[in-house]
């Protein structure tokens, strides 16, 4: 039984087991209050239990605290194993992309990133007593040495058909653990599923058919650039083309591409040089960071390769500026750049409760009550036409470039957002959250 509410001398409890009247009497005698017991479906009971006592409270109850470092190395106890399993299962149920375990002043904080936003997971108040065992259990699952790390470590876990990248960071209070779900390519949506209009899909696909040229996706971290480029590779490039990707790290596994992961000892530039010797038609460069890679990429784009890359910039104009800063001359840039993608991600209105957060008087289980579930992209796709090409070639400043872009006819992101709000796909608050005020 879990307490649900207490007011004056009344205590209400919930259970998912058949109600035993004798038990009610006994509880009333024990706590000196009038007790009402409500029978609820198991799922509701378990969710409430987690909210009150925290995730894995039952699993950890009765388990001893973490051993001192010198005693480390023994098999993890059943409770810890169960806690980690419940944590992974909760993350999968919520559709989280990341799990963060962070030793902090108040104990061990557990957070999930769902639809791009971090949320704190309620955990038992004494979870920090088990933090070392939890970290060592995760390390064992990831094939790492379970003893406390002195240096950052990386490993992988396979959980119910999903791959997770595990990263351990030693911190003064123990170890910070980060788990990232790696999406298998099977889960990649179609171009239209990303939120692209049919006109934008056509623009992208026709740009992807031309050999030679550079396609740049821009937007802040977490705006979905990498997903867009991978979907483009998977859906718009036929198997008659050889695709090679250079990424840090590989996030989506594609079955139609050779994927190179840049490791600390291999720079983007040296990986790119090796990739070019493998006779590629299409090259994806995860992110253009240094002038050497930018030079090689443009060289490849000008010699008959389609090159896709992303840049962490606010918009297309800043992307052009960044490429110039990477040492690309206006002439080279103008002759290689084909298409610019600017994008953001907004959360979608929950389809189950239509954004109300509840269905049939109870909390919507699909969105957890916030009325939003899943995400959709806001896109502006700009083909580098004669006018933009001339502006880039003549080294036009940002103001001039912005004017040319506005005149290109592609809808600006705030307008795309407004249209999605009108269609009930997302909310005005969500668009403002992502694009900022003044929208």
Residues that bind Zn ion (CB under 5 A): 350, 352-353, 364, 366-367
Q: Shortest distance, CB of residue 360 to Zn ion, whole angstroms?
A: 12
Give the orientation angle of helix 316-325 with respect to helix 398-407, to 10 degrees: 140
Distance CA 423, CA 209 (A): 32
Closest CA to 283 of 260, 255, 251: 260
Distance CA 61, CA 375 (A): 37
Q: Shortest distance, CB of residue 376 to Zn ion, whole angstroms?
A: 16
Which secondary-structure segment (H or E) carries 318?
helix 316-325
Distance CA 402, CA 189 (A): 31
Residues with Cβ within 8 Å of 224's Cβ and at least 6 positions away in sequence, in order, are 194, 343, 344, 345, 375, 377
Q: Shortest distance, CB of residue 347 to Zn ion, whole angstroms?
A: 11
Residue 96: what are its φ and ψ, rounded to 5°? -70, 150
Q: Which is nearer to Zn ion, 217 or 367 (CB)?
A: 367
Q: Shortest distance, CB of residue 359 to Zn ion, whole angstroms?
A: 7
What is the sign of the dihedral through the CA atoms of 392, 394, 399 and 400? negative
Q: Which is nearer to Zn ion, 203 or 350 (CB)?
A: 350
CA 433 remoteness from chain centre? 17
Q: Shortest distance, CB of residue 353 to Zn ion, whole angstroms?
A: 3
Distance CA 180, CA 98 (A): 4
Q: Which is nearer to Zn ion, 171 or 362 (CB)?
A: 362
Q: Which is nearer to Zn ion, 406 or 429 (CB)?
A: 429
Q: Shortest distance, CB of residue 354 to Zn ion, whole angstroms?
A: 8
Q: Which is nearer to Zn ion, 40 or 352 (CB)?
A: 352
Q: Which is nearer to Zn ion, 340 or 353 (CB)?
A: 353
Distance CA 20, CA 7 (A): 23
Q: Which is nearer to Zn ion, 144 or 367 (CB)?
A: 367
Q: Shortest distance, CB of residue 357 to Zn ion, whole angstroms?
A: 6
Structure tokens at 397: 């400043």
Would you say 6 and 52 are in contact if contact means Cβ atoms under 8 Å apart? no
Which secondary-structure segment (H or E) carries 308?
strand 306-311
Q: Shortest distance, CB of residue 364 to Zn ion, whole angstroms?
A: 3
Structure tokens at 407: 């005149």
Residue 214: what are its φ and ψ, rounded to 5°? -120, 130
Q: Which is nearer to Zn ion, 61 or 362 (CB)?
A: 362
Structure tokens at 433: 């959250």
Q: Which is nearer to Zn ion, 216 or 350 (CB)?
A: 350
Distance CA 190, CA 177 (A): 33
Q: Shortest distance, CB of residue 245 to Zn ion, whole angstroms?
A: 36
């Amino acid at each position: 039984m879990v307490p649900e509410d207490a007011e004056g001398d009344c205590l209400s409890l919930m259970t998912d087991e058949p109600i035993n009247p004798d038990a009610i009497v006994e509880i009333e005698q024990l706590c000196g209050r009038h007790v009402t017991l409500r029978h609820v479906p198991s799922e509701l009971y378990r969710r409430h239990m987690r909210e009150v006592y925290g995730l894995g409270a039952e699993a950890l109850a009765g388990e001893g605290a973490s051993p001192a470092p010198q005693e480390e190395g023994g098999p993890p106890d059943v409770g810890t194993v169960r806690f980690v399993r419940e944590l992974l299962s909760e993350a999968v149920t919520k559709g989280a992309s990341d799990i963060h375990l962070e030793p902090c002043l108040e104990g061990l904080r557990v957070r999930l990133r769902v639809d791009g936003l971090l949320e704190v997971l309620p955990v038992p108040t004494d979870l920090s007593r088990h933090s070392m065992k939890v970290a060592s259990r995760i390390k064992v699952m990831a094939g790492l040495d379970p003893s406390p790390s002195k240096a950052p470590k990386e490993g992988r876990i396979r959980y119910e058909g999903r791959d997770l990248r595990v990263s351990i960071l030693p911190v003064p209070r123990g170890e910070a653990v980060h788990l990232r779900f790696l999406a298998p390519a099977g889960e990649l949506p179609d171009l239209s599923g990303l939120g692209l209009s049919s006109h934008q899909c056509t623009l992208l696909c026709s740009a992807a058919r031309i050999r030679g040229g550079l396609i740049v996706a821009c937007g802040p971290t977490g705006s979905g650039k990498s997903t867009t480029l991978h979907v483009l590779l998977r859906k718009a490039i036929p198997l008659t083309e050889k695709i090679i990707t250079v990424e840090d790290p590989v996030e989506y596994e594609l079955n139609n591409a050779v994927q190179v992961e840049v490791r600390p000892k291999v720079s983007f530039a040296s990986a790119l040089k090796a990739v070019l010797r493998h006779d590629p038609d299409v090259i994806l460069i995860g992110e253009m960071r240094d002038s050497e890679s930018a030079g090689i990429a443009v060289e490849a784009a000008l010699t008959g390769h389609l090159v896709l890359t992303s840049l962490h910039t606010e918009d297309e104009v800043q992307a052009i500026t960044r490429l110039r800063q990477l040492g690309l001359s206006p002439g080279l840039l103008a002759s290689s750049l084909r298409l610019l993608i600017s994008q953001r991600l907004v959360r979608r209105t929950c389809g189950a409760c239509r954004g109300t957060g509840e269905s049939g008087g109870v909390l919507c289980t699909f969105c957890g009550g916030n009325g939003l579930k899943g995400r959709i992209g806001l896109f502006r796709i700009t083909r580098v036409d004669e006018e933009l090409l001339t502006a880039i070639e003549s080294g036009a400043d940002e103001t001039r470039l912005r004017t040319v872009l506005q005149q290109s006819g592609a809808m600006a992101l705030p307008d795309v957002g407004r249209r999605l709000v009108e269609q009930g796909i997302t909310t005005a608050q969500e668009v403002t959250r992502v694009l900022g005020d003044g929208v």
